[in-house]
Amino acid sequence: AQKITQTQPGMFVQEKEAVTLDCTYDTSDQSYGLFWYKQPSSGEMIFLIYQGSYDEQNATEGRYSLNFQKARKSANLVISASQLGDSAMYFCAMTLLMNRDDKIIFGKGTRLHILP
Amino acid sequence: KAGVTQTPRYLIKTRGQQVTLSCSPISGHRSVSWYQQTPGQGLQFLFEYFSETQRNKGNFPGRFSGRQFSNSRSEMNVSTLELGDSALYLCASSRNWDTSSGNTIYFGEGSWLTVV
């Protein structure tokens, strides 16, 4: 069965420091996509970054980068120079190209607190 | 460009009533999917529509239904509401139904449903 594991329920980080949010995934499919979303208290799920299973280079989007280690089935999100506005819930998610049952499989999330 | 729009944002219903939530996808997006988010169960997939056809359905009772119109707008309906249906309902859209690179999935702000 497909599964996303986020082992950090909560994190406290000082402003301007870099942050790494952990994500491991489990699937026997070869074709899949990995997403990170940010969810502030308002509820909106904001797309941050995407990594395809066949992409050889790690994805980057501004201050966000995805540390993709396929052999370890790891897709950690790195936020450089954290800001107060980064305080939110962060979800790692996976989609499977062939298994269409669940569309997106989400982890339980990590609540990130940025301290001034 | 306009993002995914969900209405209403907040609503309160009583047990036994029914509710209809609306979702307007990003222009040009033909796939719409719905998710339920609760503190206990996390994010769970409800169903997905593409070109007015339901492609996938999650593990929810028949009280949960949806449809998609020719302009890709989608509605979901919950009949005979139960207290446990209180949740944030998120709608997401993507250009196509597949999860190939570049077919990013974008979410709306969600509809907060409280059943009393």
Q: Which two tokens stand for residue B34?
A: 């719905």
H or E stretch at A55 = none
Contact B10, B19 (CB under 8 A): no
Q: Report which of B77, B88, B89, B75 is spatially closest to residue B17, judged by C-alpha positions.
A: B77
Q: How far apart are CA A43 and CA B109, in angstroms?
A: 6
pLDDT digits (tens, 9 = 90+) for A74-86: 999 999 999 999 9
pLDDT digits 0-9 by tens, A4-60:
999 999 999 999 999 999 999 999 888 888 999 999 998 889 999 999 898 889 999
Does any CB of chain A come closer than 8 Å to the CB of residue B114?
no
Q: Average pLDDT of B92-113? A: 80
pLDDT score recorded for residue A100: 58
Per-residue model confidence as pLDDT tens digits over B11-59: 999 999 999 999 999 999 999 999 999 988 889 999 999 999 998 888 8
Q: Is the CB of A103 less than 8 angstroms away from the CB of B45?
A: yes
Confidence of residue A102 (pLDDT cuts 50, 70, 90): low
Residues of chain A in contact with residue B35, where contact means CB-CB under 8 angstroms, are 104
